[in-house]
Each structure stands twice: as structure tokens, then as C-alpha cells.
Amino acid sequence: MVNRTARYGLPPLLLTQNTLYLIHTVQTETTMTTNPYVQTLLQKGYTVAETRKPASKKQFPCTIGLRTFQTQEEYDEALADFLNGY
């Protein structure tokens, strides 16, 4: 087991899971990332938490460019064809 109390300089009784989460959150918010995409979003005013949100699910029918896909399967097939060079 890692001795985290020495690392953060806290007495053992004060070091709880919530304290570790808070310390991690503070370190994450103040640490600069090396990911250029995240850096760009941070410069635009997004928070670190907002940059880690997963993309929303596509809703169908979905129009991308000049193509309209009626189902997820149709979209996946067209994407596979595109990636395979067809």
C-alpha cells in the first residue's frame, strides 16, 4: 500500500477518499496538459472537465456533408467503406 499521507503532508486521520479526490481535482485543474487539443479548448474558456466529456450519440437520420444516413448501420457501413478506400 502506498503511503499517501507522507506525499501530501497530511496526518493519517485527515486523509480520506474525498480528500484524495479533492487533491487530484485541484492538481488536474492547475496542471497544464501537453495535449494540444485540450490546450486550445482551455484557451477558449472551457474547463478541464468539459474537455473530457464524451461525444454525444448521433441521432438518425443524420446528414453529413451531402449524404444522409437513415440508420447507424448505414453510417457504419459507409464509414468502413471510406476507411478501406472504396
Q: What is the mean pLDDT of each run of 10 residues along the chain (86 residues)?
A: 56 54 50 81 92 88 94 95 94
Question: What pLDDT score was predicted for residue 3?
Answer: 56
Cell of 56: 454525444
What pTM was estimated for this model as a whole? 0.41
Please name the residues in contact with 33: beta carbons below 8 A apart, sequence gap of 6 or more.
39, 42, 48
Question: What pLDDT score was predicted for residue 58?
Answer: 86
Question: What pLDDT score was predicted for residue 26?
Answer: 46
Question: What pLDDT score was predicted for residue 22?
Answer: 47
Q: In which residue are the cell numbers 501537453 written? A: 34
Handedness of CA 24, 27, 29, 31 (dihedral sign): negative
Domain ranges of the chain: 4-51
Beta-ladder partners of 67 = 64
